[in-house]
A and B are shown apart, each in its own frame.
Chain A
């Protein structure tokens, strides 16, 4: 933003970066230009101005967030935003900008914005924008809270409970694969009649036999001869 050249080819790559936000801000910028008195604008002009508007908001936000973080806060306040607006207006200048002891709440940029709000007519956005609903966070109860014992020994009681269909699904998966009982402790669960079930597995594609030799590529059989 501070004198950084923006090559137009970066602005023309809208096919890759076009998003709902960029399209929405293009509409807002078009409304502002119409209100300013323009009869029309080239497409590239609209897209460039929309991109710059998005970058301006992000630069404001980043500057305000950094000002808040530098003072040990996570939430930004009016002073941070005022400082950020003054930073971005430093190129064009504002009243009392040279006074380092100027009070921020009496900043000239705030007065200019207040005058703009009083004088400019409202231009509501073309269409109402649907707000994303807050994701409902499921609170899972732990084994200790519910009063159940975990089904596996290595699972601690402070972990959330397993889903209700977990046991059923696990048993079904073991039965289907023919590995029911496989992996159980033979000392605690001795099963003399247990037989290893060989599952006939066929490869879908016929593959060549793989040969490899161990020993850094040297044929030790020849040396023995």
Chain B
């Protein structure tokens, strides 16, 4: 914009004169601005604004102030706010101005409102009526203003009030109104999607609007909709393609052109939509090849805007189902970007390259020299993006060079975000591709010292876990550990005061555990180095605790030294430290005890943690008996704390005994502390998840490139993946050399670069392309971690066991039925375990205790389940299965036929009668339909069915007593079953009494089992409702479940499997997390939050019902085991 002339302040007076009309009004503003520009210090400015604001305050509260003056005041208030001063007292006047003023005042009023108030601001409610009025105004300008404000800030709860009016505007004759209405609806869709669900048809109308502006606005909505569910909009592909074609063909009015490119924003929007539609969909992609080709061709002009379109186009080409010809063109386009002298284009080229190397790593090879130049670029942003690109092409051969580059960059970087982001990547690469122990440990040392305490906690955690768990070979593990010990001893001998706490912690842990591996070093030396750290003031008390526990672990140290140390620390202010010192003292004096507490070389998997803390039960009940307050889960405490913050309107009670009040105070305080610490301790899995998500950008990207690769001719020459790297290296270096060859006489500097290139891009050549493309199959990580245990060893213990039990159960399914015709096989034990569910042993309030007990109980019962006859929950099964004719369902009454129902299974039979049953799932109850068939040729009389079940409420709906049952006919009786309290399985018993001959009554007993699963119904809620509900629920259970990884997206597959098995409602799936809701009939809801955690699905359930989560969890486990 070279034609924008910079005027200087000397032009001020002239400027004033030239302004007329509106300018008069804003004279005070001018004075204000002018005087501010004349000020020299911030202090003076503050004073001036303070004066100004108090003047404004006076004016706004004066009754004599006219609307017109108010308008001027408002502009000044906006100015003060912009300078960063608080003028919140004018907010209400802004609303008033919009409400009461004429068009002019409204304009200012609305602007002020949109600048002052956030979406959530309570004053916005006062604006609703004004907006309603203006939307109905005959003045176009007023309608426009109202729509503008609605599209910017509007209280979510009030959307229904204006929605019909906004909807009407979609058919307004003026295009500007239609356009704004579309954008307002888009806004509504973003903040409250379900409120605009019914007007999707109208969006469609907007898409076909004759005005290009309206149509373009509607694309915002479509982009969002398609992003959420591309499958529902595939039929629109043709329309979008046609629109894009028309745009490209210059069919739009000229004023939509931007630097003679037709409607670029529209094009980009369309390209984005098309790429979403064509993703993983060959037939849809085929529809757009032509137009994408044209797009690539048309964007030839050398202007930013054409490059912006090209970039979008390239991305689209690489996102949709691949077409060789297009890919080739797109790759050439990237070349134009990367080679451009314009730095902005270069940047975008790198970004595009980063995107496409995920599909085709060889593309990076073509631009290696540019990449290397960019790596040394003076611009931070460019460097950063280059490293991102390198991260994507890292393999076992170039890892050392790339990691070195990343570390170099990090050493000179001081932006926290960048450091955290990149250092995590370095750690990931190191772990994945480390060529040898020394490099790995050295790199991790760098990671810890550079990342320092900014590091995400999972980096040290992962590292330590890797050391601790080791791989298959003990020898290798010990070598690695030994190397770590050596390296840390060297580090500690140096200058240690600058080392970050997290590094010190890692080192002390490793030394504590593995110092004994290093025999050449005296233990005294290790102890000396560690105690030295304790003397440093910069060492945090948390680190001190780490160091102390390391010292505790080093056996037969200098007892006197240790004792001195323990002595000095036992008077420490820090209680944890003091405790640790005590332990240290005791253990160092009693080597037997130490052997027992800290056995050396104990296997890691063997540690079992009693997560339910059952060993504390006695203590808890004693404490409760002594009057302690019952435990409350953290969220409940949080809520109570929030409530406490509100004004207490009730009078204080005077009669409160002192002891009680003090008790409640401690209760208030400790929970917060506790909740923080529990948040901390439960964190590691959380964080690792975080790290996973930050690096898993690949996940959303389609892998167009399967294992077979895309280009067949390359594939033919591709050597096997696990060919030794040495064989690959020369090949790719050669290829690199070939690339460079045409360059005339490279200078020495160039040679350096080429050398760098060959080391950076090694492994990207033909040879390793296969392994690179399938990133997951990429060179086997050097440090193969054992399957990652879940949250803690405790849960892994249980989940392991429960999965054992479930695999056991799956083996047993064939012979594991629980069925009435064979009552002797009915495993009474398994059911009785649930009958014994402790119903809160202590009278009131002991919620936690009860929880844990039930929790534990459920676990044990699952575990037990593995050893005894397995109850198959979801079906009532029978020895003679499908022989029962399915046509029995035809006998269902018409009103029940449409309900979802189970298969008909035979219950029992005798020579005269045969009974079968079918379960029908109604929202509020389970209907059990019993078919009674007369197998004889005679009439059976006085048939009466009796059904009993202790755990369920049963109600006979009809047909349980019949006077007679004709020969060869079938009668139907129904029971409605209600489950108030969940039980895993409930057994039903019943009898049918009948008379074949008068006076001679036969009885036929039958029984069956129903599972909770039969009583679970989907709970349809929106994400927001889910969120609210989640917070309001108190009982929660967490568990890791098996993740089904056999097909596609594991999370989706697993959730679908659960949905099918248990009728759950999948509310939403975002990334690696999904939320699911269900309820027990129409009663208690249960919310499930699932998160992919490594190879497991971490499930967190919440429900108002204390036992429900356990049962649902149980059934989820079963469903997954059976899958």
> Do A and B originate from a single complex?
no
